[in-house]
């Protein structure tokens, strides 16, 4: 791009006028001044001459870095091209704009200032002075000037936006700004500009430090779109879940925005106004990642990133990122990499550049991350190789299962929504030492342990094998299902299933449905299952009553408090008896 490009709408401008505009780039203002009267007058003159508003953007050294024809909104610097310093700083760029009709400061100019985190916005009200000389330039003078700048957010709003899981969807926190009374050019030029921006930045920093922000964590803004298919309660549940996913992935949720739409906008998912609101919120709160509650097409991601100016990822990427962080074993890493690559392959076009521009974090980590920029074909080759390895893993697990089956030991797999308490239950029943934690997807690799239960008929001790495995989630990403097929086969190959449900979770009933849906879609029909309600120590009596009525055959336990485990053993005996006899 030539250095003296004029931005905005240049239609109908004469070469001589363009030349005048380009000359603005040669102007230089003393570093500690907002503007000089001479510079302001010059802008006013050009603006009157072309009869259009003109904007000049200056850096802190007083150099003109951008000249545009149009309003601040029309000449705005694309967000992708702006430096991003986060909520505690300003962009180091100010805009001096002329305004030909003496209307009030329009909101759109102020919004542009907030979007770009400009140091300041100066609006010059220009009045054409009387007559136009024949053949000569019309002159105009600055009637009055306004100085606007951002002010720190009310810390209470920011604090409310802080705090991960407890966050509730809210209206976006509007940026706050202040506008000076009308000033003369002399007054404006005498202001110490450096004093102003340094003072402001100090306040921003103070507000920001008061928030106790962990700089290792990404600051995440979540966007939920409510389309027809979910009830308001179900929608809130999915929002809470995506917030928990972000939290698990290591991000701090700073805000949740939502929009109701009859259908998703094909280019940007949400409408234009909402995109702007997201961009503003991200700027105001210093968010560096926007997470959508649904899957996005590559084009949607590109459009959104261009308009919001921070990285945009979808729900699947967050889940894949958690898996990537969790994967410990070779098998786990292998499957996660495969899932990430399969997800990314169709999304590669043009993403690489934007990704490196916007930095790392959620959605970019994991065994697959360095492969991102390599060529599609190389990735395809890698996928083929990983698939081969997954097949080997599959064959290996198959042999293990075969051996167990030959020994005639019945197998039971614990399935359920993530965080239901599956690993805790395996530990409680078998003294295994599987990692159990209040995290989503704490377990990726299956663990199998022996368990002694009473025989349903004879009452004698019998041995079974109990397997704990990866948890399920609503709309489990397809690439994960595919990549984890070797692991999921532990489920389909088991003689019977324990479907464990966290009864203390508000969305427990939908979680039951989601798990059943995933089981239904498995290539091999799994064996018979019993529903086991866990965490009854934390479930309220009304929920317990509903569950008893809806699921009369279910077992009620607390794996953590070791309640109801003896009954569960008995019921496992009956289940195995039924499963083996109908095998
Ligand atoms: N109150 C209560 N908490 C429980 C109970 N059982 C498990 N938990 C807790 O629930 C959380 C999740 O337990 P995990 O055993 O890791 O759950 P999981 O189903 O294996 O989860 P993933 O492997 O992440 O899918 C942990 O914080 C447990 O301490 C219970 O009976 N009562
Ligand atoms: Mg687990």
The pLDDT score that the predictor gives to residue 459 is: 87
Please give the structure tokens belonging to residue 235: 């929608």
Q: 10 Å Cβ neighbour count for 322?
A: 26
Spacing, Cα 145 to ligand 2 middle (Å): 63
Angle between helices 298-308 and 351-358 (to 10 degrees): 40
Distance, in Å, from the CA atom of 198 to the CA atom of 90, rounded to the nearest integer, reads 10
The pLDDT score that the predictor gives to residue 357 is: 43
Strand order in the sheet with 289-292: 251-260, 218-226, 289-292, 311-313
The pLDDT score that the predictor gives to residue 165 is: 43
Spacing, Cα 243 to ligand 1 middle (Å): 18
Distance, in Å, from the CA atom of 56 to the CA atom of 35, rounded to the nearest integer, reads 11
Residue appearing with tokens 């510079």: 39
Q: Look at residues 29, 149, 17, 123 and name the one whose alpha carbon lies nearest to residue 71.
A: 123
Spacing, Cα 326 to ligand 2 middle (Å): 11
Nearest atom within ligand 1 for CA of residue 427: 15
The pLDDT score that the predictor gives to residue 72 is: 93
Distance, in Å, from the CA atom of 258 to the CA atom of 276, rounded to the nearest integer, reads 13
The radius of gyration of the chain from alpha carbons, rounded to an integer in Å, stands at 31
The pick from 323, 413, 419 for probing ligand 1's pocket by mutation, whose C-beta has the most ligand atoms within 8 angstroms, reads: 419
The pick from 244, 327, 422, 424 for probing ligand 1's pocket by mutation, whose C-beta has the most ligand atoms within 8 angstroms, reads: 424
The pLDDT score that the predictor gives to residue 352 is: 44
Spacing, Cα 418 to ligand 2 middle (Å): 7
3-state secondary structure of 266: coil
**Ligand 1 atom 1: residue of nearest CA:** 535
The pick from 245, 560, 561, 564 for probing ligand 1's pocket by mutation, whose C-beta has the most ligand atoms within 8 angstroms, reads: 560
Task: Determine contact, residues 531/551, Cβ cutoff 8 Å.
Answer: yes
Residue 141: phi and psi, rounded to 5, are -130, 160
Distance, in Å, from the CA atom of 342 to the CA atom of 320, rounded to the nearest integer, reads 11
Ligand 1-lining residues (CB < 6 angstroms): 416, 418-424, 436-443, 471, 534-535, 537-538, 558-561
Q: Please name the residues in contact with 255: beta carbons below 8 A apart, sequence gap of 6 or more.
A: 161, 167, 170, 172, 173, 221, 222, 281, 285, 287
344 membership: H or E segment, kind and range = helix 330-344
Spacing, Cα 423 to ligand 1 middle (Å): 7
Q: 10 Å Cβ neighbour count for 506?
A: 13
Spacing, Cα 425 to ligand 1 middle (Å): 8
Q: Look at residues 200, 251, 203, 219 and name the one whose alpha carbon lies nearest to residue 440.
A: 251
Task: Determine contact, residues 572/541, Cβ cutoff 8 Å.
Answer: no
* Positive or negative torsion for Cα 475, 476, 478, 481: negative
- 583 residues of the chain, pLDDT tens digit each: 456 899 998 999 999 999 999 999 999 999 889 999 999 999 999 999 999 999 999 999 999 999 999 999 999 998 878 877 777 789 999 999 999 875 555 778 888 998 899 999 999 999 876 555 444 455 678 889 999 999 886 655 555 444 444 445 554 566 788 899 999 999 999 989 999 999 999 988 887 776 666 667 889 999 999 988 888 898 999 999 999 999 999 999 989 999 998 889 999 999 988 999 999 888 888 888 999 998 898 889 989 998 998 899 999 999 999 999 988 888 889 999 999 998 888 777 544 444 444 556 676 665 544 545 556 788 888 999 999 998 898 888 888 878 877 778 899 999 999 999 999 999 999 998 899 999 899 999 899 999 999 998 898 999 999 999 999 999 888 888 888 887 888 888 899 999 999 999 999 999 999 999 999 988 878 889 999 999 999 999 999 999 999 999 999 999 999 999 999 999 999 999 998 887 6
Task: Determine contact, residues 69/52, Cβ cutoff 8 Å.
Answer: yes
CA-based angle 205:207:208, to the nearest 5?
60
Instruction: Count the alpha carbons within 13 Å of 558 in the hemisphere toward its beta carbon.
Output: 11
The pLDDT score that the predictor gives to residue 229 is: 80
Q: Please name the residues in contact with 37: beta carbons below 8 A apart, sequence gap of 6 or more.
A: 185, 186, 189
């Amino acid at each position: 791009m030539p250095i003296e490009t004029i931005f905005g709408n240049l239609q109908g401008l004469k070469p001589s006028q363009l030349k005048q505009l380009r000359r603005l780039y040669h102007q230089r203002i003393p570093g500690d001044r907002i503007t000089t009267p001479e510079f302001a007058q010059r802008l006013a003159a050009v603006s009157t001459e072309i009869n259009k508003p003109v904007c000049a953007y200056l850096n802190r050294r007083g150099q003109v870095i951008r000249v545009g024809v149009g309003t601040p909104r029309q000449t705005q610097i694309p967000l992708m091209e702006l430096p991003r310093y986060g909520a505690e700083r300003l962009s180091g760029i100010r805009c001096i704009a002329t305004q030909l009709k003496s209307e009030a400061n329009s909101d759109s100019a102020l919004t542009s200032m907030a979007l770009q985190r400009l140091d300041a916005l100066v609006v010059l009200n220009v009045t054409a002075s009387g007559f136009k000389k024949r053949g000569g330039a019309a002159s105009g003078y600055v009637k009055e000037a306004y100085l606007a700048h951002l002010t720190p957010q009310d810390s209470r709003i920011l604090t409310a936006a802080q705090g991960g899981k407890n966050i509730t969807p809210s209206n976006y926190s509007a940026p706050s700004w202040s506008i000076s009374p009308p000033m003369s050019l002399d007054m404006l030029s005498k202001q110490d500009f450096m004093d102003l921006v340094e003072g402001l930045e100090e306040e921003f920093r103070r507000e920001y430090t008061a928030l106790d922000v962990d700089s290792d964590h990404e600051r995440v803004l979540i966007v939920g779109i409510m389309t027809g298919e979910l009830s308001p309660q179900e929608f809130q549940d999915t929002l809470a879940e995506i917030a928990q996913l972000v939290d698990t992935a290591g991000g701090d949720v700073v805000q949740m925005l939502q929009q109701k739409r009859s259908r998703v906008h094909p280019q940007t998912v949400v409408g234009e106004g909402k995109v702007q609101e997201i961009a503003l919120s991200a700027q105001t709160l210093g968010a560096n990642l926007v997470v959508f509650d649904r899957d996005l097409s590559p084009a949607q991601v590109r459009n959104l990133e261009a308009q919001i100016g921070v990285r945009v990822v979808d729900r699947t990427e967050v889940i894949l990122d958690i898996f990537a962080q969790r994967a410990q074993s070779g098998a786990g890493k292998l499957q996660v990499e495969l899932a990430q690559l399969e997800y990314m392959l169709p999304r590669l076009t043009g993403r690489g550049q934007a990704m490196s521009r916007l930095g790392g974090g959620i959605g970019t980590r994991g065994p697959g991350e360095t492969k991102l920029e390599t060529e599609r074909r190389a990735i395809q080759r890698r996928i083929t190789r990983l698939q081969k390895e997954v097949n080997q893993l599959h064959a290996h697990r198959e042999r293990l299962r075969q051996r167990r089956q030959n020994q005639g030991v019945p197998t039971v797999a614990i399935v359920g929504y993530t965080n239901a308490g599956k690993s805790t239950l395996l530990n409680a029943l078998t003294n295994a030492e599987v990692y159990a934690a209040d995290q989503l997807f704490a377990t990726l690799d299956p663990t199998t342990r022996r368990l002694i239960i009473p025989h349903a008929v004879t009452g004698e001790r019998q041995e079974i094998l109990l397997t704990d495995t990866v948890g399920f989630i609503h709309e489990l990403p397809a690439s994960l299902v595919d990549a984890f097929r070797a692991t999921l086969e532990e489920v389909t190959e088991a003689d019977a299933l324990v479907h464990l449900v966290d009864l203390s979770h508000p969305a427990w009933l939908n979680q039951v449905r989601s798990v059943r849906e995933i089981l239904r879609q498995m290539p091999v029909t799994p064996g018979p299952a019993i529903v086991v309600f866990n965490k009854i120590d934390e479930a309220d009596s009304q929920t317990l009553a509903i569950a008893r009525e809806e699921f009369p055959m279910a077992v009620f336990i607390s794996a953590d408090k070791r309640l109801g485990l003896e009954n569960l053993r008995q019921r496992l005996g009956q289940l195995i008896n039924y499963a083996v006899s109908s095998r």
